[in-house]
Structure 1
Amino acid sequence: MSDVPEKLAALFPPDRADALVALRRDLHRHPELSFAETRTAGALERALAPLRPASIDRVAGTGVVARIRGRDPGAPVVAVRGDIDALPIHEATGLEYASVHDGVMHACGHDVHASWAVGAAHLLAERPAAGDVLVVLQPAEETGTGAAAILASGALDDVRAIFGAHVDRRFAVGEVVAQAGPLAAAADDFFVELLGRGAHGARPHESADPVVGAAALVTALQTIVSRRVNPAIPAVVTVATLQAGTAPNVIAERATMSGTLRAVDPATRTLLASEVRRIADGIAAAHGLTANVRIDLGPPPIVNPERPAAWARTAAESLLGADAIVPLGITNMGGEDFAYYMERIPGCFLRVGAREPGGAPTPAHTPQYHAAEASLFVGAAVLAESARVASAALAGGERA
């Protein structure tokens, strides 16, 4: 049933490997949306219970946090995180364990993330870290709200370092990105309402047309990245929705649009938001309209610090060899709410190869997305070993 990478075979005997694969397939077959992961949380609790953790707690509604005992009760506590929610997408993979919930699927690999966190718990129970390790199974990553809810619960108040990872089909199974520096972007949303004056379609001079203003605004917003952001700094402004009007012969009174702002540094993040407001107000004034702008802040950027990244890299190299460590090779403008943890706790976020031999680099958040099963074992082993390396370093007096 399982396909364990050769270098990790000793860590995953058949019974353990098959159990993790069965868990992954069960979660994939029964996906649940953000903060609705009730069945998922129950399945994960049942998978963890045989390990006899020091505690298993429900937090943030549908989150699960299990404490795996370390060798020294007084040693610093570290954490590993797996996210558990799915997306509102209709699955088209054709898998025998495809989603049974129409319009909901694990199109971002969180079924693997949840399962490899359980796998890491098994490995840590068998060979403990210096201190306790919290295995965090987090809801609602896709809405960017789950990590903040876990933090607000207080469950991680004593954690000194945290590690997480994401499957990535741009990389083959067995390859791991464990590097310092930017790994994901801030992901903020903007909403613009343009209010004008409606009229008959035959008499446009009697209107203040928000559709014309909206068209001008869509174009003008593209100048933020091309003319206001330093070309050496990555940034994205995307208009994703645009609505106005009810009939072809009626000039609407209102137009709305929304989109996303992506940046990898705080100054650029602030600039993008202020420019959306400035340009929207200016375009509205030029067309005799009123602009109402709202910016909803999402996760901040992920910037891996040097020491935690070195711990994770050491862990991955010890398991897979130096050749397995690969550079990200791009600037990733995707958002990831693991960044909220890293605002308070030193840590490292990794990318774990999930492309099977001969497979295509299928993008996430698509109906065809599927992470290769063998990535499950790589993620579990690397996260468990990262926790051990970090725990030993912190217990020895190192600073993250």
Structure 2
Amino acid sequence: MNVIEQRRDFHRYPEQGFLEFRTASIVAQTLKKLGFEVLCGKEAMVPEARFGVPQEEQLTKAYHQALKQGADPLLLKRMQGGNTAVVGIWRGGEQKSPIAFRFDMDALPIKESEEEGHLPFKEGYASCMTGSMHACGHDGHTAIGLTFAEKIAEAAPSQTIKLIFQPAEEGGRGAVSMVEKGILDDVRHLFCLHLGLNLPLGEVHGGISNFLATSKLKVIFKGIPSHAGASPEKGANALLAASTALLNIHALPRFSGEKTRINVGVLEGGTAANIIPAYAQMILETRAESWEVNEELKKRVEKIIVGSGAMHGVQTKMEVIGEATTAASNPELMELVVEEAKKVQGFTKFQLESNSNLGSEDATFMMRRVQEYGGKATYMIIGSPLPAPHHHHRFDIDEKVLPMSVELLTRIAKSVCNH
């Protein structure tokens, strides 16, 4: 497959975080055929360091679905339980520390548009997985990574190169498990990328540094059921406690010194109109420009949750199900990205450091680990016009960006290997 065909295949079979069995199997199988040493499953991640792992029922269903869709059974066994990380290592003869490129693989819980004007639907490669969609470009990232792997195998560089295919970027759930495994500990240079972000086709930004720290939180409210008409005073209303918490969480003041964000994205509970709700669940996020302010926001949220539970006689439990930190791209690598992009046909506009509003990214944990161990890292932005925003049911990319991106990464790798 060429890079566009590969992207369309991944787009048709989107898999959410830690459920990327088919995608990860294809990645691992392709890398192995190309001559890479392949680490996958527990070889590439620490299972206990994952955030927000799906329920066993979801994992089992996705596993068997991937088998039906042609995934390699032997590779899938190594990924059981949602351990879907993959690392391909090209072993060069030189003893220098490796350079690494990171690609995310997961999709989103969104039903894809079936409108006539939506190109994937029109061309027949829209999602066939109910309730899941590649609405952020990760299908393109993964396809770029695999096609780039072919270029590496053809060139057979003497430098060791790691290709890191990360599960569960959405919600900040997957990167830490790979960091804790030590995958980044020997990396000298790390390159991450993202397509789109409202930049036009042909525009490249060498790096981004304005990531927001974030925490994704799941809260369980446990009350007491009772008849809503005959004995409401005997119950403890979990949904009412959750609603009280929601309103007060959104009433938290913004911080004067930096940007902050709070959003309750899920609130659900109750079983019937005539039963006092004994259970409710809330999923929310905090974001801030610094890790310290994000931690303060998280503490304030927890106080509100505990207080709301106490007001209504309801037990509460808060769990962190995802996180990302802040990170800054190294100027030397940002300059390298821009210089190499200038040599690629189709790229016409260049900016050293991006001010694009990416929000949060758990690749920041990888970037920080490389930098803490004396290496350098950057997170480049590669423009693509979008018919709809990221995380929208009509999201799509301009596929012309895919071969251009492969060539850019190939030039970056060649430049680093020659120095």
TM-score, normalized by the shorter chain, greater than 0.5: yes
Gaps of 5+ in 2: 45-78, 114-119, 372-376
What secondary structure does 2:380 align onto? Answer: strand
AA in 1 matched with 2:7: R
The CA distance in 1 between the partners of 2:347 and 2:141, in whole Å, is 22
- Cα 1:64–1:278 change in 2 (3 A) is closer
Asked if residue 269 in structure 1 is aligned to residue 294 in structure 2, the reply is yes
Match of 2:12 among 12, 29, 33: 29
Q: Does 2:95 correspond to 1:74?
A: yes
In the alignment, does 2:317 pair up with 1:293?
yes
Give 3-state SS (helix, strand or coil) of 1:140's partner.
coil
RMSD: 3.2
**Is contact 2:218-2:281 (8 Å) kept?**
no
Q: Is 2:197–2:358's contact at 8 Å kept on the other side of the alignment? A: no
Distance in 2, matches of 1:32 and 1:284, equals 35
Superposed displacement of residue 374, structure 1: 1.4
- Please say if residues 182 and 264 of structure 1, whose CA atoms lie closer than 8 Å, have aligned partners that are also in contact: yes
Does residue 136 of the first structure (1) align with residue 164 of the second (2)? Answer: yes
CA gap of 1:182–1:169, structure 2 versus 1, over 3 A, is closer
Q: Structure 1: where are the runs of 5+ without partners?
A: 1-17, 396-400
CA contact (8 A) 1:31 1:101 kept: yes
Judged with a 3 Å threshold, the aligned counterparts in structure 2 of structure 1 residues 191 and 177 are, in CA distance, closer, same or farther, namely farther
1:296 is displaced (CA, Å) by 0.4
Equivalence for 1:191: 219
Q: Tell whether the 8 Å contact from 2:213 to 2:294 is kept in structure 1 after alignment.
A: no
**TM-aligned CA deviation for residue 79 of structure 1:** 0.3
1:332 aligned partner: 358
Classify 1:294/1:214 alpha carbon distance in 2 versus 1 (closer, same or farther; 3 Å).
closer
Confirm or deny: 8 A CA contact 1:193 1:293 kept in the other structure: yes
1:374 counterpart = 2:385 = no
Say if 1:76 and 1:391, in contact at 8 Å, map to a contact too.
no
How many angstroms apart in 2 are the aligned matches of 1:166 and 1:29? Answer: 20
8 Å Cα contact 2:225/2:275 also seen in 1: no
Q: Following TM superposition, by how much is the alpha carbon of 1:234 offset from its aligned partner in structure 2, in angstroms? A: 1.7
Partner of 1:178, secondary structure, is strand
CA distance 1:79–1:205, change in 2 (3 Å): same
Equivalent position of 1:259 in the other structure: 284
Q: What number of residue pairs does the alignment pair up?
A: 365
Q: Highest CA radius of gyration, 1 or 2?
A: 1
Matches within 5 A, 1:83-162: 83-92=104-113, 93-94=120-121, 95-126=123-154, 131-142=159-170, 144-162=172-190
- Given the superposition, is the C-alpha separation of residues 205 and 186 from structure 1 closer, same or farther in structure 2, using an over 3 Å criterion? closer
Match of 1:182 in 2: 210
Instruction: Give the counterpart of 1:234 among 242, 259, 264.
Output: 259
TM-score by length of 2: 0.75
Q: Distance in 2 between matches of 1:209 and 1:105?
A: 35
Moved more, 86-95 or 258-267: 86-95
Deviations for 1:17-40, whole angstroms, at most 9, x for unmatched residues? x72222222222333343343433
Which structure has more RCO (C-alpha within 8 Å, separation ≥ 6)? 1
- SS state at 2:15 partner: coil
Question: Amino acid of the residue matched to residue 262 of structure 1?
Answer: R
Is contact 1:25–1:97 with CA below 8 Å preserved after alignment? Answer: yes
Q: Which residue of 2 aligns with 1:214?
A: 242
**SS of equivalent residue, structure 2 residue 324:** coil
Residue identity (%): 27
1:294, distance to aligned residue in structure 2 (A): 0.8
For residues 266 and 197 of structure 1, do their structure 2 counterparts lie closer, same or farther at Cα, with a shift above 3 Å needed? same
Whether contact under 8 Å (2:108, 2:391) holds in the other structure is yes
Q: Deviations along 1:38-89, whole A, 9 cap, x unmatched?
A: 4333433454456444x2343443433223355x612221100112233343
The residue that corresponds to 2:38 in the other structure is 56
1:208 Cα offset (Å): 5.2
Q: 2-side partners of 1:380 and 1:69: how far apart?
A: 20
CA distance in 2, matches of 1:206, 1:56: 59
More off after superposition, 288-297 vs 164-173: 288-297
> SS where residue 324 of structure 1 aligns?
strand
Structure 1 residue 274 displacement after superposition: 0.5
User: In the superposition, relative to structure 1, how do residues 253 and 35 fare at CA in structure 2: closer, same or farther (>3 Å)?
Assistant: closer
CA gap 1:190/1:171 in 2 versus in 1, 3 angstroms: same
